[in-house]
A = this chain, B = another copy of it.
Amino acid sequence: MITVRVFRDGVADEGTIEPSQIAECLAKDDAFVWFDASAPTADDIAALGQAFNLHPLTLEDIGHRRQRPRVELFEHYAFITLRPLTLNEKLVEHELHVVVGSRFMGTLRYGPEPYPVDEVVKRWERQPELLKTDPGAFAVYVLFDEIVDGYLTIVEQLEDKADDLEDLVFADDPSIDGSQIQERIFLVKREVVKLRRFASPMRQGLDLLQEQPGFVQATLLPYFRDVTEHAIRVFELADNIRDVLTSLLELRVAQVANHLNVVMKKLTAWAGILLVPTLIAGIYGMNFRNMPELGWRFGYAGALIVMGGSAFALYVMFKKKDWL
């Protein structure tokens, strides 16, 4: 579904225009044209290409999903791939292809749930002076900023999950299945690594955009630096969580090894405690004719006492050695 809107002097025109009217609009100096296609079809992409005169390579690349975030510079525009994440009950991975020039922007929002841009548009409208002087750069800055802020929310949530896992590992509660903790560590780690992989190329992308001559004007430079800084923060937080989770898994493996030791000590101790009286019972179960103890009055009681005593002695010894 294509929507094309025009902004003049930082303020949105009422209503939308047709893609075919874009060229006419761009001919005038004061307009900023935003072409948005959610769940775009091949026709939508062709319309976009024609409207902004895109390079055939861009159109070809737009056709592929699951790309890594990146910025590719062309003569009069930049082609940007973004991978926003939103958290709406559950984590949703989006893919967004953007072409942006000084005075136009095209956004293609893929997937079953296209990335919502309402918030982005609202922020454009909140700072019309910036949208007026440097529309393309400002529009793309807001988009990056929203996405990186989304990453920050998610990375902080993953940090909480990592903290919970740390508590769980430290509790070392035997009633929790060990594999389960390890599997949860693995899953959180994978999310963190994905976030890191999405945030890391953001920085290079932002640097590239700033190098595009005449694209980002001086007023916007602090904004680009700021969002870059936030992307680095996401990256470093993710890095840090990853390291903690790796250490945590190591700790968990060490704990499991300790548990095995404890179990084996118990096995050894109980085997000893049971086998010694069993041996004594075996001895008095022998059928030798000449076994004086068998005739003793308190022979049986004595045997029971010896059996109990030896078991008790072993029990005390193992307790002392902390095997039980």
Instruction: Judge whether A254 and B179 touch: CB under 8 Å.
Output: yes
A319 within 8 A of B: no
Q: Which of B174, B175, B249, B278 contacts A250 (CB 8 A)?
A: B249
The smallest beta-carbon distance between A148 and chain B, in angstroms, is 13
Fill in one digit per residue for A275-291: 1 if any B CB lies within 8 Å of its CB, else 0. 11111011111111111
Instruction: Judge whether B222 and A57 touch: CB under 8 Å.
Output: yes
CA distance A275 to B277 in the complex (A): 11
CA distance A296 to B256 in the complex (A): 50
A300 within 8 A of B: yes
Fill in one digit per residue for A221-249: 1 if any B CB lies within 8 Å of its CB, else 0. 01101100100110011001001100111
The smallest beta-carbon distance between A11 and chain B, in angstroms, is 20
A266 within 8 A of B: yes
Instruction: Judge whether A299 and B290 touch: CB under 8 Å.
Output: yes
Q: Which of B193, B243, B256, B261 contacts A254 (CB 8 A)?
A: B256
Instruction: Judge whether A283 and B263 touch: CB under 8 Å.
Output: no
A67 within 8 A of B: yes
Instruction: Judge whether B281 and A286 touch: CB under 8 Å.
Output: yes
- Chain B hits for A248, CB < 8 A: 186
How big is the A interface, by class? 35 or more
Q: Which of B67, B182, B271 contacts A275 (CB 8 A)?
A: B271
Q: Which of B175, B250, B257, B294 contacts A257 (CB 8 A)?
A: B257
CA distance A225 to B58 in the complex (A): 11
CA distance A148 to B74 in the complex (A): 22
A317 within 8 A of B: no
Instruction: Judge whether A256 and B261 touch: CB under 8 Å.
Output: yes
A14 within 8 A of B: no
A-B CB contact pairs (8 Å), 29 listed: A55-B222, A57-B223, A174-B322, A178-B261, A182-B258, A186-B251, A249-B254, A253-B257, A256-B258, A257-B257, A260-B261, A263-B268, A266-B268, A267-B267, A270-B275, A271-B271, A272-B274, A275-B275, A279-B281, A281-B282, A281-B283, A285-B286, A287-B287, A287-B291, A288-B294, A288-B296, A289-B295, A289-B299, A290-B299
